Amino acid sequence: MAKLDAFDLRILARLQDDASLPLAELAEAVGLSSTPCWRRVQKLEAAGYIRKRVALLDRAKLQAGVTVFIAVKTARHSMEWLERFHAAVLDLPEIVDFYRMSGEIDYLLKACVSDIAAYDALYKKLISRIDLNDVTSMFAMEELKSTTAIPLGFVERAS
């Protein structure tokens, strides 16, 4: 797919806001008729700009309202260890984000749990699967901003 134009960016912005919009409403919102809008959505999906469409759930209503950031430092820096760590984390549904970091922390994980006891159970599962050098847990006291929207202002536009 060539560079994105203003229509593509408007489509992406609207879908980030509400992926369940009926095609007719999406087309109207971005200033296109339904067929060209649908073709553009299909091209954006095929090109990988749209990875998937999901529903955002209310963590608190689902008893997963406690957010924990888990900072991991390790003495091991091999691909074998990283692959083992990745495998250890992959099937833990409580861990919703997993990053390899630069700086003093090697890995940062974000988990959603119901309470401290649920976090303790998660911690015990994690350390039973792999050796960790240093683990620091930080509980979020208040969520001030959380979004899944990707900023679109960095995109180089087509003329």
Q: Taking residues 67-91, report their average pLDDT.
A: 93
Confidence (pTM): 0.88
Query: Per-residue pLDDT for 16 more than 80?
Result: yes
| Rounded Cα distance, 32 and 87, in Å | 45
Domain 59-139: CATH architecture, name and number where available: 2-Layer Sandwich (3.30)
pLDDT digits (tens, 9 = 90+) for 107-156: 999 999 999 999 999 999 999 999 888 999 999 999 999 999 999 999 88
Residues ≥6 apart with Cβ < 8 Å to 74: 81, 85, 106, 107, 132, 133, 134
HSE, side-chain direction, 13 A CA sphere, residue 59: 15
User: Can you give the pLDDT at residue 1?
Assistant: 67
Q: What is the mean pLDDT of the chain?
A: 94
Domain 6-47 has CATH 3.40.50.170: no
The angle formed by the CA atoms of residues 112, 124 and 134, to the nearest 5 degrees, is 90
Domain ranges of the chain: 6-47, 59-139
Q: Taking residues 94-119, report their average pLDDT.
A: 97
Chain Cα centroid distance, residue 142? 19
